[in-house]
Structure 1
Amino acid sequence: MTSRTFNTPTTPATKDEWLTPPDIIRALGEFDLDPCAPVKRPWDMANNHYSIADNGMELPWFGRVWLNPPYGDETFKWISRGAAHGNAMCLIFARTETKGFHNEVWNKADAIFFFKGRLKFFHVNGREADGAANAPSCIVAYGPSNVEALRSASAKGLLRGRFIPLKSATPPALSPPAMHDDPLPATLPFADFSQHSAFLPGDIPLFRA
């Protein structure tokens, strides 16, 4: 991620760049592109990277994309691009009530993973930050393969938190109810009164609750 990120921890010496914890990347598998990567990084987030010098928003995106987008007003522009790309995972704050989250996550994403506790991000020199992020984080998945990767990482305990499918959780449509003018079956189980009843009128049993 470049510039201040949506997950920037609050520290006395706030930096412009914070790195995704490498355990998260390892848990989710290989990515083809990180379009908002730091210029200098101690580890790769993907096989290919665009930095702030490349202006990754304007360049072609391809394959499976990892996003830890810039902080602030630009965040959901990147998320929107990831949703349109259709094969992306995005690490953002779990600001579930915001308009951007409603528009780009609740309305478009295939699954979300909410982390238990707050994450610690890393400096560009590879050192873990002293403080945790100033809000809870989540990973948003677009595309079926990313849903399965997120589900698998959660099930294996590689990520601590709660996996929530979205589109795949929609219940199937119910069959329409039978109409009153549907044809009746050829035969119905009517009682046959041609045979003598097993009970005489005076023998009808009485039932009490």
Structure 2
Amino acid sequence: MCRKETQMNSKVMFSSKTDVWATPQGFFDELDREFHFELDVCAAPENAKCRRFYTKEQDGLVQPWTGRVWCNPPYGREIGKWVKKAFETAAGGGFAVMLLPARTDTRWFHDYIYGKAEVRFIRGRLKFGDSKNSAPFPSMVVIFGERKRT
């Protein structure tokens, strides 16, 4: 990729023009060692973290979330729908772990996470995808449901 393309990608990535933030592989690997994920419910073929995954076209919001679920959803206006789906999955006996922006002032945080799930705030800022720059927001990992393997 030429320098101009890299600069353009960085401008898009660190603006509100994108809501897709690819999970850093090393960060995911640490969580996977702990949780043993089986399904990535919000992925593209080139960045899927599990063998089983749903693409944007398959719409993970309307698909069943089975097994040990990983979810790094789009961080735009629809994020609350993804958080609600994880909450409902756990309420039905399922298990899901999400990587989310740490937005503790939002309705979705208070309705579906606060006091209802385990929250791990990430120290520092993640570097999403192949970016050299840190994200312009803090992140958190949210664990919905029982930890024991199904």
For the aligned pair, the TM-score class normalised by the smaller chain equals 0.7 to 0.9
1:56 & 1:117 partners in 2: Cα distance? 29
Identical-pair percentage: 36
Q: Indicate the residue corresponding to 1:134 in structure 2.
A: 136
Candidates 97, 100, 103, aligned match of 2:108: 100
Kindly indicate whether residue 76 of structure 2 is the aligned counterpart of residue 72 of structure 1.
yes
C-alpha distance in structure 1 between counterparts of 2:55 and 2:115, whole Å: 28
Instruction: Considering fraction of residues, name the structure with more helix.
Output: 2
Scaled by the length of structure 1, what TM-score is found? 0.57
Assess if the C-alpha contact under 8 Å between 2:84 and 2:108 holds in 1: no
Aligned-pair distance for 1:107?
A: 4.1
Which residue number in structure 2 is paired with residue 115 of structure 1? 122
Amino acid at match of 1:140: V
Q: Which runs of 5+ in 1 are unaligned?
A: 1-9, 123-127, 147-209
Please name the residue that 1:11 is paired with: 10
Shift of 1:11: 3.2
* Higher gyration radius (CA): 1
Pairing 1:27–2:34 present: no
CA-CA distance at 1:136 after TM superposition: 0.4
More strand by share: 2
**Unaligned 5+ residue runs, structure 2?**
1-8
Name 1:169's counterpart in structure 2: none
1:177-205 deviation per Cα after TM superposition (whole angstroms, max 9, x unaligned): xxxxxxxxxxxxxxxxxxxxxxxxxxxxx
Counterpart amino acid of 1:142? F
SS of residue in 2 equivalent to 1:11: helix
| Aligned residues between the structures | 130
* Aligned structure 1 segments of 4 or more residues deviating by more than 6 angstroms: none
